[in-house]
Amino acid sequence: MENSLPPIPAKRYFTIGEVSDLCGVKPHVLRYWEQEFTQLRPMKRRGNRRYYQHHEVLMIRRIRDLLYDQGFTISGARNKLHEIVQTETDKHRNGEVMLDGIDVTDASDSVLDSLGEFEDSVDFEESETPADALDLPTGIAAQQRLLLVRRELFEIRDLLGSTH
């Protein structure tokens, strides 16, 4: 069933109608799920209009999969989703992130090695460091941002792969 869902466009906010089309559920179901799943909190604007972000669309697709494809009850899906979120939170707290079964704490060295190879392949003026020349952030914060970007790219790859 997941294969029949359209790809998620690259935009910041989605209306409830757009999310309904992207996830294959009616708007009233989305409003009901907001009450049942505390992790689902779209931003509300004037007139109580809901605006969902990309991660919420992914979460709705996960909820839909748990309920419609895997046969969970609302309570079971809520528990499973809570368990998934808790696991991810614990991994982030411990400095670990799992992507497609790859431990990013191990993979981060290879990512940084790749960046080092890239820096070696580019000619920089003597006065500038590679990060300065490319206007790149450095340090642990930069590594964390790279890991988040990598994670999002894996999600995009998976979404694109599921549409074919």
CATH number for the segment(s) 1-94: 1.10.1660.10
CB 14 within 8 A of CB 22: yes
Domain ranges of the chain: 1-94, 95-164
Cα atoms in the 13 Å half-sphere on the side-chain side of 113? 5
> Which one is predicted more confidently, 58 or 162?
58
User: Which is it for the CA torsion 35, 37, 38, 41, positive or negative?
Assistant: negative
Long-range contacts, 74-79 (Cβ 8 Å, 24+):
74/36, 77/37, 78/36, 78/37
Cα atoms in the 13 Å half-sphere on the side-chain side of 108? 19
Mean local confidence (pLDDT), 117-134? 46
Mean local confidence (pLDDT), 34-48? 91
For residue 147, what are its two tokens?
């890991």
Query: Rounded to two decimals, what is the model's pTM?
Result: 0.56
| pLDDT over 90, % of the chain | 42
Any idea what the Cα angle at residue 148 is, between residues 144 and 150, rounded to 5°? 115
> Which one is predicted more confidently, 36 or 124?
36
State residue 147's pLDDT score.
79
- For the segment 48-80, what is each residue's pLDDT rounded down to a tens digit? 899 999 999 999 999 999 999 999 999 999 999
> Which one is predicted more confidently, 122 or 137?
137
